[in-house]
Amino acid sequence: MKIKVLITIITSIVALSACEKERPKERSLGAVPLPDSAVFVTTIDTKGINIFVLNASNGELNTKYNYPSTPNTTWCYPAAGNGLLYSLEDHQIRAIDPKTGTELWTDAVDNATVPILHEDTFFGFTGSQLYAMDAIKASAKPLWTYAMAGGPADLRYANGILYVCKDKHIVALDAKTGAEKWGLSNGPYALGALNSGIIISGLMTIDATSGNELGTVTPPLIPFKSDEDVSYPTLDYATMELSFVSTRHYGPSHYGRGYLSAVQKSSGAEKWRRTYGEGIGSYDTTNVVNQIWHNQLLITKTVITGAGKYGYTLAENHWMADMNTGALTLNLNDGGKGITEVGFILNNTLYLQKRSTPTLNGLPSPSPGDYTNASFLYAIDLLTGKVKWDASKILEGYDGFVHNCVFAGGKGYGALIQ
């Protein structure tokens, strides 16, 4: 999935039993009182890892923590929980006191993909095995491991099960013991609808608890504009009652016309349909359902804009629609620029991090234009669609990827906290 959730990079092999622990000396960072609700934003450069601490209510910079990175560190992601702030890196997990920035302990582990956090446990993949690790304290060894070669892997947690998608395979493990519950090998598989108890494979839906096939959706029959048109249906999202199908028609006389339909699982009937797209200067290329929030679909609309000097630019907007009628309920004012890297909802706020890279013939272009390789960070009110704050200026001049999470009341919230 993508809100696009969105999301990123990432092969190495490690012997987890040899995890090294370090307890560094405390460093005085000139601590500033932590806001009641804070947003932690990570960046990495030649000087090390930077963690910006923002006030979640207004987006203002509160303080900044800095740490030296291990050799060959290429990425870092923030997570929070258990009263701790974590920096998840490709060669270690770093635990930090969120109030002072003091580094408390590290677990040395070569991560082939970004670990996820559920309550007091990390789940990760080294390139040779999956692991579960204590997130409360430095660990001499993992809680359990599960052999799995190759990588990278997509990890998700839901209802006591760790789901791992890799290549065309999926395996469901008991999150407490690492014991395999079931596995499938006819993918690829998508975990974007996991919160609804659904796994998607092509046009087929699978029960996330048992791994049993629930059925295959038949795309609605939508008349072509010409006899030479071709159709590309995709299953974006599903619940136990409805399947949400995007259909794209391409033909020689037009760039493409798109449709978003809700199909009833019980009858196969199309419940509603929205039409979008078609144009030359600026037109929708995709409308993808990312998740459901309060019976509304959160939809990412990708738009190609302007064939200028440096080529086309991809941009994303977000809108919301009633899942039962398809009626547009809200357009989110998210700047109309950049592609979503990270997005998650907390209470009535969408925290959205986007990145803009102009393209030339579909490839990244090193143009000197505005927003080249820029990062944008917004908080958007989902009741009004308006931007509550925009912290993009804090990231000006930074050319790499940034990631964020929210910390409030001793608990963490973010795409990697499940």
State the first-to-last Cα distance of the chain, in angstroms, to the nearest integer.
Answer: 15
β-strand partners of 50: 43, 66
The DSSP 8-state label assigned to residue 34 in this structure reads P
Mean pLDDT in residue range 149-159: 86
**What confidence category does residue 384 fall into, taking pLDDT thresholds of 50, 70 and 90?**
very high
What does the longest C-alpha to C-alpha distance in the chain come to? 72
185 contacts 166 by C-beta, under 8 angstroms: no
190, amino acid identity: A
Which two tokens mark 21?
């622990």
Weakest-pLDDT range from 31-35, 163-167, 207-211, 271-275: 31-35
CA distances from 82 to 135, 157, 239, 389 (A): 8, 17, 32, 27
Of 159, 197, 160, 155, nearest in space to 175 by CA = 160
The predicted structure's pLDDT at residue 7: 29
Chain-wide mean pLDDT for the chain?
A: 81
Check whether the bond before 188 is cis (ω within 30° of 0). yes
What is the reported pTM?
Answer: 0.83
Instruction: Give residue 10's identity as a one-letter amino acid code.
Output: I
